[in-house]
Every structure is written in structure tokens, then in C-alpha cells.
Structure 1
Amino acid sequence: MMLLAFSASAETFIVSPVYLDAYSIQDAINKAQDGDRIIVKSGTYLESLNVTKSLVLVGVNTGGGQPLVDAGDKGSAIILIADGIRLEGFDAGNSGAGADDAAIKVLSDGNLLRDNVASNSSYGIYLYDCMNNTLVNNVARRNDVGIALYSARNNTVRGNTARNNSFGGFILGLSRGNSLMENTAVRNAWVGIFLSDSEGNTLRENVGEMNDNEGIWLLNSSRNWLSGNAVSKSFISGIRLVRSHNNTIAHAECSGNLDGISLEASRDNIVTGNNLSNNNYGIYLDDSSDNRLYLNNFQDNVDNVYSWQSINSWNTSRTLSYQYNGLILYSRLGNFWSDYQGRDGLGQGVGQQYHVHGPVTDYWPLSSRIDRYLVRGLPG
């Protein structure tokens, strides 16, 4: 390999596999100082990197694809130890099989990981006990877990893809205040996005498709905000909550699952603005009471709702101002049910007969899909 350095206030080192001398990426890291840049050209680098300085590491495709850092089935391929590292444009993989081995492991704060591919490892990308990191446009594939955050706080995970991982796409454990936005989880063998013992996280506009069990699963997790997520073709649930309380599920698209949304032993959640269609059950409730479900579309499911030992509210808690067919109206509002047989004799978008489905009663069922109603002051 060849290592070149250009002196300036911050130096740039270039690593290439073309020249067979003694330099490696780790040699460049060891020689560099905080603020320096290391450019790595296409090639396979059989080493494990410990980045102990605040550096910019850039992988450049010079004709042979992104440079690959190959751990050789031992330990982790890249470990970020210092704060403020920028890592972009690398392939990393073939970690060891240890419980915390990863293609890319982050143990520090304020780092940026962008446009990397993490594969064939225990974890693709693993953030542990760290905060204020940003992951953008990375791909994690063929790992046990794609992207994992454990005991992690205030990190941003945006526009990443996790696919064909043997357990989960994105996993958060004991983590709070993180934002997962616009990510894609496809064909993971267990779950697309999984939160365990985590609170105060935001999941917005993520896509989960053809994950084996759940698109999104919250276990023992509270006060999380889920908005605008699209989950389809899961063998069990689009979105599943188990022993999880005080969460909001809003504006989701759940279709082609066994259960569109499932609440099990979960209380005090808000479910609103969701489209639940072409599932076996639109929503499945088991031992879950004191939840509020309103302004949802239940359409063309085999059974729109299943409720067992669950007492919930199916309407807004108060009278709202809303616009319908050009009129400004006032009423409490329920849900749209494709199997509702009642009439809207007043033309106000609210049926005059209750919608009763087993133990479920919607006192203000909607006569049209929720997109026909303009209602202010609802969860976004």
C-alpha cells in the first residue's frame, strides 16, 4: 500500500493498495492528528481499524468499488473511539461472532457515518453508550442485526437501509431521545424496527416491508412517537406494541399484514390518522385498555377489529371543529369503517347510528374516509 501526506494546517493522507509498501489505513490513522483527512482508494484492506482521533475518513471508488475493510472474522472492522469522526464511503464487514462485534462500532459522540455499507457481521452498525451521532444513507445487509443502538441517546438515523439481516433491521435497546426517519427495513428475518425498554424516541416516515414477523415492534417501551410509517406484508403485525404505554401511532399505512396494528398488554396509547387496509385484522387488541383510537380508516380487512378483554375509547375525547364538504362543523369524531351500515342523514360526515362490532362501540362513526375531513389540533 502507499501512503502520501500533504502538509497544511490539516494534513491529507492517501492510502492505496496499488503500491506494496508497509503502510495501511491504521498506519495513516496513527500518523494523523485531530482534524486530518484520510482518503482510501478502492481495494480490500485486511485489517481492523481503531480510530482514536477526530479524523475525516473518506473511501473513494477509483474503479474497484468502495474500499472494503475486512475484519477477517475477528473482532470489529472499524471502531470509532474518538469524538467527532466523519466516516463515509466505506464497505466494512466480516466481523467476528462475538456479542458486540460489528462491521462498524461506535463508542463515541458527535460522529457522522454516511454512505457506508456494513455486511456479514454480528452487527452491521452498532452504537453503544453514545450520543449525538448521525447515520445517513448507510446500508446494513446480511448481518445478524443491521443497525443497533444500545444505551444510546439523541442520535439521528436517517435514510438508511437494513435488509436481509437474520434477526432485525434496526434495534434500539435501553435508548432514549433518538430519531429514526426515512429508513427502509426489508426482508429481515425477524423484525424491521424493534424498540426494547426504550422511551422518548421518534420513528417517522420509515418503511418496513416483507419482514418475517413485525414491521415495527415496541416491547416494554413508552412515550415514543410513531408518525407516517408504512409497513406491509409482515407475517404477523405491521406495528406491534407489547407492554408498551403512552405511545402515539399516527398516520401509518398498514396493509397486507396479519394484524395492521396490534396492542397487547398495552395502555394509554393514542392511535390516530392511520390507514389499516387489507390485513386479516385491521387492529388486534388483547388485554389492552384505556387506549384512544380515533380518525382511523378501517377498510377491506378480513375483520376490521378484534378485541379481547380490552376496553378502549373509539372517539375523540372532546368536540372538535372540522371541515367536511366545504362546511365548518362541530362534533366528536370516531373512525371510518368500511363495513359500517348506518347513514349520515345530516350530511355532516358522522353516522347517526353507532357502529358496534362485538365489544367495540364507535359512537361517532365516520361516513367517509378520514382524508375527507380537515381537523386541526391532532397529532402530526
Structure 2
Amino acid sequence: MLFHKGWRMIAIILSLFSAIVIYNLFMVMLIGIPAMPRLRVVPSEYESIQEAVNEAFDGDIIYVKAGTYRENLVINKSIILVGEDSRRTLLDGGMGDYTILIERGGVVITGFTITGGGTIMDIGGRGAGLQIYNSSHVLVFRNYFTGNRMAIYIHSSSDISIVENLIYGNREGIYLTKSRRVMVSENILTENPSFGIHLTSSKENRIYRNMIIGGVNGIYLYNEADENEISENIIKRGGMLILDSSSNRILDNAFVDKGMFFSNSYANLVSGNKVNGEPIIYLEMASDEVIESWSSYPRKLREYYSHGCQCFQRW
């Protein structure tokens, strides 16, 4: 699942580069100002990544050779940031508020190990390896996130893609707040003790085909996290908690050791999910319901309870 389809990253980057070239050619014809993308190499041409970003123009590609870079990087331009090797190109934020802060749309981050955003022991903070604020059309692809307060924090942003990253050994995984149309797909999240993926006040997002292992909650929807799709994920030990969130589509997920809990959440479509390989019953706003037995079903069913349900099993 992770790091397969080896040419996919190259294809995405080349597609973005081609689009930027076409755009810039159009601008040249329109206003007569040449603005062709440039490849900038760190550390061959620049002492730091931030220096390269500061010198860059929209559409430029910054290529970072393997090594350790201790920076708190602010990206406020539409650039493509590429590490030579995700295992050997390390960005260390030194436990600051962030390691990378994105404040502009049209950014690609790929090929890095990102660490030192906040501290794992900081319970109340918002430090993160990667913070995305008020931005759109950002791609975060094939990176490692470890040793951060949060791996990825997305605030008031839209059309973000978090794809094929390995997120392990952080306090928290991916946190979305007040964001829309974020795609979180084909990531592995493990050894993040608080949660894997957390959505609050965020709508129209798609969380699918991730593997989430451990944490108090594998996936957590809270406070009007509505109209999202949660599908085809494998969630081990953490389960799913949905509070004050409605009209979500929860489809074809596989839970191990722990299932789902709903509270004050309505009109959620729940279908095709299993706990330890067995189907699940979803009951909404039922009270004093008695399930006489599971004998009418060809396989054993596991139940969970939504808000307003008081259900009893009679063997």
C-alpha cells in the first residue's frame, strides 16, 4: 500500500511542472514578463532550504540533497519541494511550533523525514511537523513523519492531498480543523498514542485506504465533522469515535479489537464494516431494543450503539 507504484511521484511532479510551464508561457504572452520555473538545489546553491524558498518564484522546484537540515521552514510560495531520499533527507524543527509551515496554495512536499515539530510530551500544544494554514491545492506525498507533537495539522484549508506517507512515533497523527475536501489516502499511521486521524468542524473530506494501528482512537470525528467519507480503512485497536457529527458515509472499513462508538450523531450511512472479520449492526435513535439472538444471521454479528440507543442482547 505504501510506496508502491514507483513512478507515481515522478508523474505527479512532472504533471505539475508541465502545468506550471504552460501557465507561465501564457503569462509571458499576456504581459510579456518571462517567468519560467527554475530548479534550485540545496545545499549546492543555497546554505539552507529557507534561503532557497526566499529566493524562489512561484512554480520553482527546490531539490534538497540527503542530509540533516535543522530549520523551521515557512513556505509562502507555490513551489515543489523534493527531498533526495525520504529516509536520508531529514528536516528537524528542534521542537519548535512547526518544522514546515505552509501558508500558500500550490505546494508539493515529497521525499523527506519530518521531525521535531513540537514535542511528544506537550499534551496541550499545537506543535506539528507540518502545519497547513489557509491554503489549497497542497500535495504531501511519500514522506516520513516521526517525533512530532502532531504529524500533520491542517487548519482552514481545502483541496489538500495527504498520500502514501508513513506516520509513526508522534503523539498524534493527522488533525483537520475547519477544512474541506481533504483527501487522506494510503497512509500508514502507527505508534501515535493519542489518535490516528482527527477531524473537527471539517466537511466533505475523504479518508480511505489507510492503515491505522493503535492510539486511543484510530479515527475521531468531532463537533460537526459532517458529510465526510470514511472508507476501506484498516483500523487496529483504536476503533472509531464519532461525536456531534452527522451525514457521514462510513463504508467497508475493517476494525480489529475495537469497533465504533457514536454519540449525538445522526443520518450517518454505515455499511459493509466489520470488526474482527464479523459484520456490524448500526442502530440509530432506538431505545429499549432487544436483540433476541443472532441465530437468524449466517455469521455472528457484533453490535455497537449510537446516540439514543439502549440495546440489549438476549442469548
Scaled to the shorter chain, the TM-score interval is: 0.7 to 0.9
Aligned to 1:248: 269
CA distance in 2, matches of 1:276, 1:124: 42
Do residues 143 (structure 1) and 170 (structure 2) align? yes
Residue of 294, 302, 305 corresponding to 1:282: 302
Deviations 1:210-230 (A, max 9, x none): 23xxx1111111000011100
Do residues 191 (structure 1) and 217 (structure 2) align? yes
Structure 1: any 5+ residue segments left out of the alignment?
A: 1-6, 269-274, 290-305, 309-356, 361-380
Deviations 1:4-51 (A, max 9, x none): xxx9821101113xx7x9710000000110000001111110111000
Q: How many pairs align?
A: 266
The answer to whether the 8 A contact 1:174-1:196 is kept is: yes
Q: Which has the higher contact order (CA 8 A, sep 6+)?
A: 2
For 1:77, what is the secondary structure of its paired residue? strand
Aligned to 1:72: 94
CA distance in 2, matches of 1:204, 1:116: 22
CA distance in 1, matches of 2:70, 2:306: 51
Tell me the CA shift for residue 285 of structure 1. 3.6
CA distance in 1, matches of 2:285, 2:145: 37
Do residues 225 (structure 1) and 249 (structure 2) align? yes
Cα 1:8–1:177 shift into 2, 3 Å: closer
Residue of 304, 307, 310 corresponding to 2:311: 307
Deviations 1:262-301 (A, max 9, x none): 76xx538xxxxxx9977xx711447635xxxxxxxxxxxx
CA distance in 2, matches of 1:59, 1:246: 44
For 2:267, what is the secondary structure of its paired residue? coil
Deviations 1:177-212 (A, max 9, x none): 000110111022x0101100210000110110123x
Aligned to 1:312: none
CA distance in 1, matches of 2:304, 2:41: 57
Pairing of 1:156-195 with structure 2 (within 5 A): 156-188=183-215, 190-195=216-221
Cα 1:10–1:154 shift into 2, 3 Å: same
Aligned to 1:52: 76
Residue of 40, 46, 51 corresponding to 1:27: 51
- Percent identity, please: 28
Residue type matched to 1:111 in 2? V
Cα 1:210–1:31 shift into 2, 3 Å: same
Residue of 108, 119, 122 corresponding to 2:149: 122
For 2:50, what is the secondary structure of its paired residue? helix
Cα 1:276–1:131 shift into 2, 3 Å: farther
Residue type matched to 1:94 in 2? G
CA distance in 1, matches of 2:177, 2:185: 17
Pairing of 1:330-341 with structure 2 (within 5 A): none
**Structure 1 stretches of 4+ moved >4 Å:** 259-263, 275-278
Tell me the CA shift for residue 90 of structure 1. 1.0
Deviations 1:49-85 (A, max 9, x none): 0001000000112xx9331110111120001111110
For 2:159, what is the secondary structure of its paired residue? coil
CA distance in 2, matches of 1:84, 1:287: 41
Structure 2: any 5+ residue segments left out of the alignment?
A: 1-33, 287-296
Aligned to 1:104: 130
Tell me the CA shift for residue 105 of structure 1. 0.7
Q: Return the TM-score normalized by structure 1.
A: 0.65
Aligned to 2:7: none
> Relative to total residues, which structure has the larger helix share, 1 or 2?
2
For 2:137, what is the secondary structure of its paired residue? coil
CA distance in 2, matches of 1:287, 1:126: 29
CA RMSD of aligned residues (A): 2.7
Deviations 1:204-262 (A, max 9, x none): 10110123xxx11111110000111001122xxx12211211101101121289x9567
